[in-house]
Amino acid sequence: MRKIVAGLTKKQVEKELSELKDQLNEYRNAYYTKDAPLVEDNVYDNLYNRLLEIENEYPDLVTPDSPSQLVGDVTDDKLGKVTHDIPMLSMGDVFSYEELQEYDNRIVKNVGSPVDYNVELKIDGLAISLIYENGKLVEGSTRGDGTTGENVTANIMTIGSIPKQLPQPLNIEVRGECFMSKKEFLRINEEREKEGQQVFANPRNAAAGSLRQLDPQITADRKLDAFMYTIVTFDTLNVSTQSQALQTLEKLGFMVNETAKVSKGLEVVNEYIEKYEINRDNLDYGIDGVVLKVNDLETQQQLGNTVKVPRWEIAYKFPPEQSETVVREVTWTVGRTGVLTPTAVMDPVSLAGTTVSRATLHNIDMIRQKDVRLLDTVLLHKAGDIIPEVSQVVLSKRPKDSVELEIPTHCPSCGSELVHLEDEVAIRCINPKCPAQVKEQLTHFASRNAMNIDGLGPKIIEQLFSKKLIKDVADLYKLDEEILSQLDGFKEKSINNLLNAIENSKTNSVERLIFGLGIQHVGLKAATLLSEEFGSLDNIIAAPSEDILAVNTIGGTIVNSLKTYFANKDVLILIDEIKNAGVNTEFIDTSNSNETNEHFTDKIVVITGTLNSYKRSELADKLKHMGAKVTGSVTKKTDILIAGEKAGSKLTKAQDLGIQIIDEATLSTYLEDVDK
């Protein structure tokens, strides 16, 4: 990478510069706009630094489309646009203590004396701006290109750590970083991988993709957070330093990162960097460096900005945590939904404090994109500082006789032909009797939101399956006392309870059965909409694609998944067995129930905490049948909070908003007072 610019001809420089711009702009578009990075940060940084090296030597070659002149990303036209009155600039980067010292020297030279820095963690997230009028949140936006961002107000409103009303009637703009916790990042990627969707590369891209959704409910489901770190307008707050700004933000109800500290010059900066470079894995959020900000706000104004970055702040970027190893084998495992996941088995190597010998390859698209092959030498990193993942292949060490990795065409568990559904990155086994899928499918089928077979948990299913007493969900309806008596620790009471629960499940409305079958992309909500529209499972199976598409919120992905699933002859055999067992396959409409209750009808209700006498899902159904709207978040529109034990933050918020709060004893009294 580090050619000497002076040793190149002008023509060679122009050619390299053009190639660098094209490559970097492609990477920028993937990272910022598509939230799907093509390379690791350090690869981009090396190319970008090379670009700067050339442009510094040949300033006449700098053009407006150069990545060095651009900030952030291109905005999504589907989201409304917001103009930033004060531009949201990027930050300059340094990658060594020597570069950090050079930066400090420039600051001291420009200011005329040493300065205090407020040192903060560089959160791996998405920059956001929040505008409050009279203390009320009225607008939330992304950075965009620095001048124009995306209007994501509706999505911002779903983030619990962002206050919607300030304790003072202030007209202010604050800025910070929207992020996703590592725990949530893992949960979402696991779900996406099971569903055959492309996984997020890191928490930053997961947060960006979640915040830029057109449907705020998707954002809400992904549980984003935000650290705020800048007050853009200070006039009415008597704030003179960045450290005071953070304290003020916290008093106003914002979440701030408590690790920040003031450093005299670079005295404690290096210690701070070393501490968090070592301990970054222990944090529940991703960081990729440390930020130094001149603490005095007046001095910040004095230093000003370049066209792209503020002169008063700099980011020290952590070096990538990577290790080199050799791929010896690639194994394929089959999940509940039939998705095949490839895993690289490698020579053991130390990575970020642990010994790693296996790393996910996610799907065939990623294998092809990174061109991973057997006996390849690869670089490993930890996605989100958690999951071992292949960064790239070291092509210079690839064996000469290397061949592309063979992608399976048949299921390694049951031998069925694999399918590659449209708009999916995964290959999938759709045989409903595939042994690798059945155990997890059985657990899902019996779960509360599916057939709700109480007492049939994973341990019982494991016994039934390992003893070869069942082979699919239809076999659950063939269980009897004699079969269940073969289970360890199963006595007469347990047997009777389970048989009763299985018998009761036969009377469920058909949407529970459809959801329980585990059809790709068909959740309980979609199953309910389809059941309401078509009335029975047979009608759904027979319905033309265009009729299914006509159902509100049902899209092509769900239609394709349904048609592929029901085209499988083994699926139809399974459904016939379920029908023959007496399981209901018709929609049972409860929406016209005459049951009303003066306490709950036409009220917005939130349930929180642990209830002793009620299952939350069953209570929610009961309240809905009484005409209540049951939601998951406490807002000003909430009428009643039902608070069980350990109610937590929702109870606190309801108290602050003056919402009616009832305990379980009062709930029972209200439910008994039914006007039929």
Class of domain 323-397: mainly beta
Look up residue 1 and give its two tokens: 């990478």
Tell me: the pLDDT tens digits for 599-609? 888 788 889 88
Rg (Cα) of the chain, in Å, rounded?
Answer: 29
- Tell me, yes or no, if 317 is annotated catalytic: no
Lowest average pLDDT, out of 37-51, 75-89, 194-208, goes to: 37-51
Give the start-end residues of each E strand in 19-135: 81-83, 92-94, 116-123, 126-133
113, 105 Cβ separation under 8 angstroms: no
For the chain, where do the domains classified as CATH 1.10.150.20 start and end?
A: 435-580
Kindly state the tokens that stand for 161: 């750590």
178 vs 35: CA distance, rounded Å: 14
**Distance from C-alpha of 391 to C-alpha of 376, rounded to nearest angstrom:** 12
| Distance (Å, whole) CA 189 – CA 662 | 37
The model's pLDDT over 571-580, given as tens digits with 9 standing for 90+, comes to 999 999 999 9
- Say what the pLDDT of residue 676 is: 41
Helix (H) or strand (E) holding 382: strand 377-383
Q: How many CB atoms sit inside 10 A of residue 335's CB?
A: 19
Contact residues for 156 (Cβ-Cβ < 8 A; gap 6+): 128, 130, 137, 140, 162, 211
Give the dihedral sign, CA 525/531/533/537. Answer: positive
Burial of 572 (0-12, 13-18, 19+ CB in 10 A): middle
Q: Report d(CA 502, CA 453) in Å as an integer.
A: 6
| Spatial contact of 364 and 332, defined as CB atoms under 8 Å apart | no
Q: What's the CATH class of domain 81-317?
A: alpha beta
- Tokens 């290790």 belong to 323
Mean pLDDT for the stretch of residues 73-77:
52
Query: What is the CATH architecture of 435-580?
Result: Orthogonal Bundle (1.10)
pLDDT of amino acid 350: 81
Other beta carbons less than 10 A from residue 435's beta carbon: 14
What pairs with residue 623 in β-bridges?
A: none
Residue 634 to residue 653: CA distance in whole angstroms: 7
Q: Please tell me what DSSP assigns to residue 476.
A: G
Check pLDDT > 60 for residue 75: no
Residue 400 structure tokens: 């000469």
List, by residue range, all CATH 3.30.470.30 domains of the chain: 81-317
**pLDDT tier at 72 (50, 70, 90 boundaries)?**
low
Is the distance from CB of 573 to CB of 582 less than 8 angstroms? no
Between CA 50 and CA 47 the distance in angstroms is: 5
Q: Please give the average per-residue pLDDT across 277-300, as a whole number.
A: 91
**CATH number listed for the domain at residues 5-69:** 1.10.287.610
Q: pLDDT tens digits, residue range 135-165?
A: 999 999 999 888 899 999 999 998 989 999 9
**Using CB atoms within 10 A of its CB, is residue 244 exposed (0-12), middle (13-18) or buried (19+)?**
middle
Tell me what the mean pLDDT of segment 336-358 comes to: 86
192/209 Cα distance (integer angstroms): 13
**CATH 2.40.50.140 placement within the chain:** 323-397
In the set 10, 21, 122, 397, the catalytic residue is 122
Residue 313: predicted pLDDT? 96
Do the strands 387-393 and 604-608 form a parallel or antiparallel pair, or are they unpaired? Answer: unpaired
The pLDDT value given to residue 451: 94
Q: 56 pLDDT exceeds 60?
A: yes
Query: What is the percentage of the chain residues whose pLDDT exceeds 90?
Result: 44
Q: Alpha-carbon distance 200 to 568, whole Å?
A: 31
pLDDT (mean) for 512-534: 90
Phi then psi dihedrals of residue 137, to 5 deg: -70, 120
> What is the number of residues in the chain?
676
Q: Average the pLDDT over 283-288 and give the result.
A: 89
Lowest-confidence pick of 20-24, 241-245, 426-430, 468-472: 20-24
Is residue 591 predicted with pLDDT exceeding 80? no
- Which residues of the chain does CATH 3.40.50.10190 include? 604-672
Greater pLDDT, 112 or 612:
112
Per-residue model confidence as pLDDT tens digits over 619-632: 887 887 777 888 77
Q: Greater confidence, 104 or 614?
A: 104
Pick the CATH number of 604-672 from 3.30.360.10, 3.90.380.10, 3.40.50.10190, 3.40.50.1820: 3.40.50.10190
**Residue 638: CB partners within 8 Å, gap ≥ 6?**
604, 605, 606, 631, 654, 657, 659
- The answer to whether 244 and 231 are in contact (CB under 8 A) is no
Average pLDDT, the chain: 86
Partners of 331 in beta bridges: 343
Q: Where in the chain is the domain with CATH 1.10.287.610?
A: 5-69
Between the CA of residue 287 and those of 69, 123, 238, 386, 506, what are the distances in Å?
A: 25, 5, 31, 12, 50
